Chain A
Amino acid sequence: MIKAQRQRPVEAPEVASYPDLRWFPPGTHITVRGLKKAFDGNPVYVGFDIDLPKGRIVSVFGPNGCGKSTFINMVAGLLPIDDGQILFEGKTIADTRIGYVFQNYREALFPWLRAVDNIHYPLRLMGIPKAERDRRIEELVAGFDLKFDLHRYPYQMSGGQQQTVSIMRSLVIEPEVLFLDEPFSALDYEMTLIMRDQLQKVLVARGVTTVLVSHDLEEAVYLADKVLMLTRRPSRIADYMDVDLPRPRDPSTLTDPRFIELKARTLEVFQNAVRAS
C-alpha cells in the first residue's frame, strides 16, 4: 500500500531567492530534478529529470512495473521521495491545487454519498458556500454531456459513469494539475473510446496540465501532446516524443497516417527499451 505523505523532504525553494531561469523554460509547469526512489533497497528512480509543459497532456507509457504509478504518485505528493526536487512553477505541491483520478473508481468514490455529493466534497473541504458550489458544479456539468442522473449512488452506476464522476470530482476544484493513473483500464473498449473523447474535450477546453498514465499505446498517443516513454527499472527516459496531431482528435484520427507513424515509432522505442534491459 502506498503511504501518503503531504510534506516531502524538499527544502523550501532556494530557487525563489536565486532565480535560475534554466529551471523554468517558458511554458514549463512541472520541473523534476534529481528524483530518487527505492523500495526496500531496490531502486526505481536514480536521478530522474524531466520538464512537463503547462496546459498540456503528457502520457506516461512503459513496461509493467517500471514505475509509472510511482512517478505520478511522487509528483502528486502521495508518495514521499527519497531525494530530488519537484516544483510546480517554482511552488511545492503543498501550494498547488491538484486533482487525482484513480484507476479503481469503485474504491475511490465515497459510496455513502450520492454522485453529486461526491463532487461537492472537495469544494466543501475548501469551505466554499453551497450556492457557489452549486454554481460551479452546474458549470462543470455543462462541459460534460451526461446521460445519467447525478443523484444516484455510485454503486447504482456503470463503471464508465462512476469514472466520469471521479473525473468531475477531480476537476471541480479547477486544479492546476490533473493526474490520472490508468483511468480507463477497468472499462470495456466502447466505454473507453467514449471516455477518451469526453476527457480530451474537457481538458483541452480547460487547459489543465495533465499527467496520464496509460498502458494502452494507442490511448497514450491519441490523448497526448507529449508521450513520456520509460525504460525498465531503474527508470530512465526512453523517449519524450511530441505528438503534433491537430485537435480535436476523433476516431478518424486513429487511421490518420501521421497517427499511425507516431504509434509505430513509440512501439519501436518501447520494444527497444524493453529489450535493452
Chain B
Amino acid sequence: MQSARFSRYAWMAVGPLALFLVWYAVHLAGLVTPKLLPSPVRTLQSVWTHTVSGGLGPDFGRTLWRTLQAFGIAAAFGVPIGIVIGASEKLYRSIEFLIDFFRSTPATAMFPLFMIIFGLGDFSKIAVAAFAAWLVVLFNVAYGVMNARQTRILAAKVMGASRARIFKDVMFYECLPQTFVGLRTAVSLALVVIVVAEMFIGSDDGLGKRIIDSQITFDLPQLYGTILVSGILGYGLNLIFLGLEKWLVHWSGRA
C-alpha cells in the first residue's frame, strides 16, 4: 500500500519535472532567444525575489480577495434563485434562453458597460466577475433541482413531509452535487474575469496588473513567474473546492 501510494505521487511528479527539463533544455540549447524564454531557474528566482521583496504577496492576496468577493456574491444570489427557478418548470422554460444567452456572452464584453455603471473602482471588476459566476451557479443549481430524483421526493411525501420539509430535507441535498459543480466552475471563472479586469480596467494591484506591468517593462522572468503564480492560485482554489465537495457531498456519484 505504502509503495503503491508513493509510486502514485512519483508518477504525478513526472509530467511537471519533464516540462521543467524540456524548458531548461530548450533554454540551454538556445532554441528560443533568452529574451522570450528565460530559464526556468531565472523565473523561479524572480518569483522568490518578488515574494521576499514584498510585492507579489499582496498582489496575490488582492486578486484572491477580489475573486472570493465576486464568488461570494455569485453564490449568495445564485443558490436561492437557482432553487426557485429549478422548482418551477414553467419559470425555468421562460428564462432558459436568457440564462443560456448571457452565459454564452463573453464576460469581458461587459467590461465597458460595468465601468459606466459602477465606475472605475474595485467594485466594477468584482461586479463583472460576480455576474458571470452568478449565471454559472444559477444554471447549475436550477439544473440540479430539476433533476432531483422523483422517487426520493415521493418517498418523503408518502412519509408525510410537507412541501417545506421536502425542500429542506430532500431538494437541498438532491441538488447539492450539481450545486458544487456550479460553485467550482464559478470560482474558476471569477478568477479569470478578475485577472483580465485587473489588466484592462485600470488597477493599482493584483496579479493581472503585475502581468501587464511585466509586459510593459519587458521583465520576462517576472511575466512567466506571475503566470505561474496565477496558475497556482487557480489550481489551489479548484483543489479546495474539490476537497470540500468530497467531504460535504460524500454520496456524489455513488447513489
Chain A: residues with CB nearer than 8 A to chain B?
A: 1-2, 4, 6, 76-78, 98-100, 102, 104, 106-112, 121-122, 125-126, 153-155, 169, 173
Contacts and interface: CB of A to CB of B under 8 A. Distances in A.
B217 interface: no
Given A1-B150, A2-B154, A102-B155, A111 B160 contact: no
B68 interface: no
A122 B160 contact: yes
Interface string B146-163: 000111111101111100
Given A4-B158, A104-B151, A155-B254, 14 more contacts: A4-B157, A78-B154, A100-B154, A102-B154, A106-B255, A107-B149, A107-B151, A110-B152, A112-B251, A121-B169, A122-B159, A122-B160, A125-B159, A126-B160
B255 A155 contact: yes
B246 interface: no
A175 B140 CA distance: 38
B157 to A, nearest CB: 5
Contacts of B173: 110, 112
A168 to B, nearest CB: 13
Given A106-B255, A122-B159, A122-B160, A153 B250 contact: yes
Interface of B: 149-155, 157-161, 165, 169-170, 173, 176, 250-251, 254-255
B151 A102 contact: yes
A158 B151 CA distance: 19
B169 to A, nearest CB: 8
For the residues of B in contact with A, the DSSP-based class is helix
B158 A76 contact: yes
Contact of A153 (B151, B159, B251): B251
Nearest to A73: B154
Contact of A100 (B153, B158, B170, B254): B158
Contacts of B154: 2, 4, 78, 100, 102
A98 B158 contact: yes
Contacts of B250: 112, 153
Nearest to A166: B155
Contacts of A102: 151, 154-155
B165 A78 contact: no
Contacts of B254: 111, 155
A121 B169 CA distance: 10
A107 B159 contact: no
B255 A6 contact: no
B255 A154 contact: yes
Contacts of A111: 251, 254-255
Nearest to A179: B158
Contacts of B161: 125
Contacts of A110: 152, 155, 169-170, 173
Contacts of B151: 102, 104, 107-108
Contacts of A122: 159-160
Contacts of A106: 255
Contacts of A78: 154, 157-158
A99 B159 CA distance: 7
A186 B6 CA distance: 40
A173 B155 CA distance: 14
Contacts of B170: 110
Contacts of B165: 125
Can you list the 3 inter-chain pairs with the closest CB atoms, starting with the nearest? A111-B255, A111-B251, A107-B151
A77 B154 CA distance: 10
A6 B157 contact: yes
A108 B155 contact: yes
Nearest to A123: B159
8 contacts: A98-B158, A99-B158, A106-B255, A109-B255, A110-B155, A121-B169, A125-B159, A126-B160
A102 B157 CA distance: 13
A121 B33 CA distance: 69
A173 B173 CA distance: 24
Contacts of B251: 111-112, 153, 155
